[in-house]
Amino acid sequence: MEGEPFSLQATPGELPKSISGNIPDPEQDRKTYNLFILYQASRALSAVLEVEELLELSLDMTTEVMNTAWGLFYLMSEEQDALELRKSKGIDAKTIPSSLHLAEGMVDWAKGKMEPFSFDELIPEMPFSRSFPDLRNLTQANPYFLIPIFHQLRFIGLIVLGRRLDGGVFTENDLELLSTLVSLSANAIMNAHLYELAILDGTTKLFVVRYFRQRMREEIKRASRYTQPLTLLMLDLDLFKLVNDTYGHPSGDKVLADVGAIVRKCTREYVDIPCRYGGEEFAVLLPETDTEGGYHVAERIRKMIDKTRFLKENIRITISAGLASYPTDADTDEELVERADLALYEAKRLGRNRVVAHDQSAIHII
């Protein structure tokens, strides 16, 4: 889902009466101003479910509210051994470190801080050199403020801000507002992360079957309501057992991850619904797509996989695909899966590395 850019502008009627209308003057009513900002931030964050969008939105909010020239968002890596640069604003990302190594004691050092702090006060500290040596690489960017990000006392990231555009300094109220704002962002990001863990396959980063089945039922109802076509692709890697037997399951997982990336690249983000259906089998639901359109998507995936060389051994992998469409081939989700599967079996029977539609006459038309 595309998130709206964060803006401090308010539309009357969208806010509680106490903070509706234009942006309150922070010099006249600091409490109302803070409530206004936090309410707007909460609304914006709650409307987004994707982690990447939340990272961008959080950085947008922080730089706008604090009126800084630029900002960086570092997030803890999956290996928990480094902070990785995920978003940047107002600065060339090529000029700054893409990761910050977490040396021994860094997390404890960050917990001791908890609050936002200036870069200048960080440099003289003795623990700095042993706890966060890579941060020195940011010096050339002239950072001004750093905000450690915690979720339930777990250190998950760091926001780095440049100087304020008005040349001013952060007040105590600014720091209090900043801490609450970042806390809201941390909760939203972790909730979105947990949601993604529940609906995404860990290896391929495609949707899991349970979520896919639910979405398929919803999309069929929508296609019926608006008299639109819907096509299902079933794809299966050819002779994939040989990869696991020859190179081992970790290498097989790497191939599956790369195939998942190809499937995502060949489908429409936020429209199509790609899924790891089980083992080395994949499925893709294509809303508002007829048989011909579905055939071309399947062929695009097949050709890209065929020309890609996987692993360091440069091995070749192929994929077979079958497809069926609603309402021409099926009336229900069960029938759609069954008929796409039949087409997939036919693709295997005909020699693999090919696409077959359930309606064979459609193949000739295409």
Query: Looking at the annotation, which residues are catalytic?
Result: 280
Q: Are strands 319-326 and 355-357 parallel, antiparallel or unpaired?
A: parallel
- Please, are residues 62 and 147 in contact by the beta-carbon 8 Å criterion? yes
3-state secondary structure of 69: coil
Residue 264: Cβ-neighbour burial (10 angstroms; 0-12, 13-18, 19+): middle
**Could you give the C-alpha distances from 291 to 232, 288, 301, 342, 362, in angstroms and in order?**
9, 10, 15, 15, 7
The DSSP line for 209-273 is: HHHHHHHHHHHHHHHHHTT--EEEEEEEETTTHHHHHHH-HHHHHHHHHHHHHHHHHTS-TTTSE
Q: Residue holding tokens 């947990």?
A: 194
Q: What are phi and psi of 280, to 5 degrees?
A: -105, 20
Number of H helices, E strands in the chain: 12, 13
Kindly report the number of other CB atoms within 10 A of residue 350's CB atom: 11
**Could you give the C-alpha distances from 231 to 207, 274, 283, 358, in angstroms and in order?**
17, 12, 11, 11
Residue 312: Cβ-neighbour burial (10 angstroms; 0-12, 13-18, 19+): exposed
CA–CA separation, 17 and 20 (whole Å) = 5
Q: What are phi and psi of 286, to 5 degrees?
A: -115, 95
CA–CA separation, 92 and 33 (whole Å) = 32
CA-based R_g, the chain, Å: 25
CA–CA separation, 213 and 333 (whole Å) = 8
